[in-house]
Amino acid sequence: MPKKIITMDDVARLANVSKPTVSRALGGHPNVKPKTREKVLAVAREHGYSVNRNAKKLREKYTNTIAVILDFSSHRKHRITDPFIFELLAGVSEALSIRNQDLLLSPPTLSDANSYKELINSRVVDGFIFLGQGSNDAMFRELAKQGVPFVVWGGNSGDANYCTVGSDNFLGGYLAGERFVQHQKRNILFVGNTEHTELRLRREGLEKALATADYEYRLDEVQGHDFSFNAHYQSMMELLSKQDAPDAIFAYSDTAAMAIINALNEHGLEPIKNYLLVGYNDIAQASHFSPRLTTIRQDTFLAGALLVEKFMAVLNDNAPISSTIPTDLIVRST
């Protein structure tokens, strides 16, 4: 049990070689005699040597560390409600570890373009993976203009100068709308803040599908004040006190969907019987909620892999194109 920390110099001395030889042996450099390499590796293992990664980072171009930014502003304090973002985080974590990249989880306080630049300048991370786009499109454009390497989980407005990976939001919206039209729904409610690029795309898809209806219909919108469960519950209750209950609802997340169902329950309204509801994300809980949620599915592990792949491309100055992952409607009991 060596308490003393071993350096490369120590290993060199113990193996009767020079320091650079140790470096080469450990780094898998071709020009080193097999016998020498074995010797070095043996000594290193025996003494529990590992390279000082800070020294390494100081010397090399990349830190092999990537910051992942959760949208903590919508998951604040005691209002953390949507498990989807964490499923995404798990996907990214797995994908990064496959590429031997460290994952620095962003401090919740990080928010503006400058603090991100600062993290790059201080050589803590090579770049960023933003999980959630929110209404930060402008900041992302600025960041991209400044050459900060990053990718975003979110929607692609088409003319963005940065790379996104996301659900096919337009298609997701379309699929929901298609279902509504098939069931001849006429009083449709869209729940979500269309300032978020993703949600705007979904609404556009929804409208496109609804336009195929050969009957009259009405489309309303509720924004929800934030991402918390209670906020949705309340705006739903408000709406119901003002107008007729919708017979079809497209919610921007499964979490929101659950809140909405509870609110409608209290008004004696039941899914299928009184209304159709489509959620989004197919979080683990969606299939076990009661009623089982009809929703739009996304593969979060594929998402993670794609995000990391694109990020690496950005880092290497290729300009990868944004892309979407398969997006399917999962019909259950709503």
Partner DNA sequence: TTGTACGCGTTATCAT
Partner DNA sequence: ATGATAACGCGTACAA
Q: Which residues bind DNA (CB under 7 A)?
A: 5, 7-9, 16-21, 23-24, 26-27, 30-33, 35-36, 51-52, 55-56, 58-60
Residue 23 interface partner, choices a second copy, DNA, none, CB cut-off 5-8 Å depending on type: DNA
- Tell me which residues in 291-310 interact with a second copy (CB under 8 A): 301
Residue of 254, 260, 228 lying closest to 87 (CA atoms): 254
Name which of a second copy, DNA, none residue 73 binds, using a CB cut-off of 5 to 8 Å depending on partner kind. none
Minimum Å gap between C-beta 41 and a second copy is: 15
Q: Residue 45 or residue 59: which is nearer to DNA going by CB?
A: 59
The site partner of 48 among DNA, a second copy, none (C-beta below 5 to 8 Å per kind) is a second copy
Of the candidates 291, 303, 297, 294, the one whose C-alpha atom is nearest the C-alpha of residue 327 is: 297
Of 298 and 324, which CB lies nearer to a second copy in the complex structure?
A: 298
Query: Which one of 265, 274, 318, 333 is in contact with a second copy (CB under 8 A)?
Result: 265
Q: Which does 18 bind (CB under 5 to 8 A by kind): a second copy, DNA, none?
A: DNA
Kindly give, in sequence order, each residue whose CB lies less than 8 Å from that of residue 30, ignoring residues fewer than 6 positions away: none
Q: State the Cα–Cα distance between residues 292 and 272, nearest whole angstrom.
A: 11
Q: Of a second copy, DNA, none, which one sits near residue 72, judging by CB under 5 to 8 A according to partner kind?
A: a second copy
Helix (H, G, I), strand (E, B) or coil at 291: coil
How far apart CA 330 and CA 334 sit, in angstroms, is 10
**Total binding residues toward a second copy, as defined by CB under 8 A:** 60
| 194's tokens | 């269309």
Asked if 143 and 116 touch (Cβ cutoff 8 Å), the reply is yes
Q: Tell the smallest beta-carbon distance from residue 143 to DNA (Å).
A: 22
The reply to whether omega before 149 is within 30° of 0 (cis) is: no
Choice from 18, 29, 58, 225 touching a second copy (CB under 8 A): 58
| Number of Cβ within a 10 Å radius of residue 185 | 22
As measured in angstroms, the least distance from the Cβ of 302 to a second copy is 11
Which of DNA, a second copy, none does residue 288 bind (CB under 5 to 8 Å by kind)?
a second copy
By beta-carbon proximity to DNA, the closer residue of 36 and 187 is: 36
- Residue of 28, 30, 34, 147 interacting with a second copy (CB under 8 A): 147
H or E segment to which residue 141 belongs: helix 137-145
- DSSP track, 217-259: -EEEEE--SSS-HHHHHHHHHHHHHHSPPPSEEEESSHHHHHH
Residues in region 179-208 near a second copy by CB under 8 A = none
Tokens 């309303």 appear where? 220
The least CB distance from residue 211 to a second copy, in Å, is 34
Closest contact distance (angstroms) between CB of 313 and DNA is: 22
- Does 5 sit near a second copy (CB under 8 A)? yes
> Nearest Cα to 278, choosing from 229, 327, 240?
327
CB 24, min distance to a second copy, A: 18
Separation CA 275–CA 220 (nearest Å):
15
Among 51, 113, 245, 269, binds a second copy (CB under 8 A): 51
Of 126, 170, 57, whose CA–CA distance to 308 is shortest?
126
CA distance 112 to 110: 7
The SS3 of residue 102 is strand
CB 193 within 8 A of CB 199: yes
Binding site for a second copy (CB under 8 A): 1, 3, 5, 48-55, 57-58, 63, 68, 72, 75, 77-81, 83, 86-87, 89-90, 93-94, 96-97, 102-105, 107-109, 117-118, 121-124, 146-147, 229, 233, 255, 258-259, 261-262, 265, 284-285, 288-290, 301
